[in-house]
Structure 1
């Protein structure tokens, strides 16, 4: 795992040991004697509106999605009607560089840049800490009448123009709600303690205090009711933006 990607359960387990189990049971158990099951069911993870930076938007080579040849062996021009439905894929690759994950993955929804709303919708699900690949279908309609010249072969192509958008993103994920920790003795299977505490309190107690030497963009902010964790990464989109008819 990237050193800048934190495992949230590890902080909760460490907090439960230091602040609840160790003071009462340190003469009986070591940390390794116990299982700490962390339940985030009642914790909300809300991704704030991201900022997108360093945008690069090169055009890609057109993608030919349909091609037909019409050979006219007569001395007269002829017309033909071409109706086509084709589907292409709009893809996104999201990589996290700073943030947190849980045992169930990242599980946040990142607001999409406005340039790609039509291809991907409003939100992009981020499932893993290393790389999330998304794919959305885009449907194109081609309906045209083509004139074939006499004694010639006419080639009709239906192309989709594609663009690539590469950018960095920065946002915060707000954490609010109650965490449940069940502590079980491994050998006997006996539940030692069940702990309920707010994620805000847990992080406030277990995380070290930020100093003036810490980069501002890495600081986890602790508010009155919630915590705000910085997320950063990069995204590359490939998506269709228009269509062409090419007759040769």
Structure 2
């Protein structure tokens, strides 16, 4: 199972006079659903960006399965090890639901027809099938778009999923469905899932809850 470990992480924006993250130490493991909570501006999204390899910490070490990110190709890390789900879905508007999910597999060299068949299986498991496969994102509901976004994440093959407010644009019914999907991925397929959220229902359903305040983090569940 995947394990993402952060050791003594500090982060300071360029030109700033103080650290936005201070001495962050966390271990996130496969098979667990983790929620990171905290007030706006506390550094939650910055921490997620660092874990995704999009920003480098000012100080400290990040490792995945014992491998230091400093010794890895970050493009390969983002392609093969971690995948992100966003509040605004971030689907390609000119690709259909199936094409959005097939694209990451084709990008990795999987033949188009094989990628499409795997894409159909992934989307079917998320309740996206029939004519919805050929719909563009603008013709899908918010909940359906988020499920397509999760499908695209699964298609990458990455076992660490980083989610930034994945229920932020959804109603209660769709939020519950997304939470259930993420729980199943963690508990039944051993994904390591880390969610930044203001949604306390996600926190209640999570195995571990981490709280960021004033740049520091602690596990509260």
Global fold match (TM > 0.5):
no
Compute the TM-score of the two structures, normalised by the length of structure 1.
0.20
Q: Which has the higher helix share?
A: 2
Computing the radius of gyration from Cα coordinates, the structure with the larger value is 1
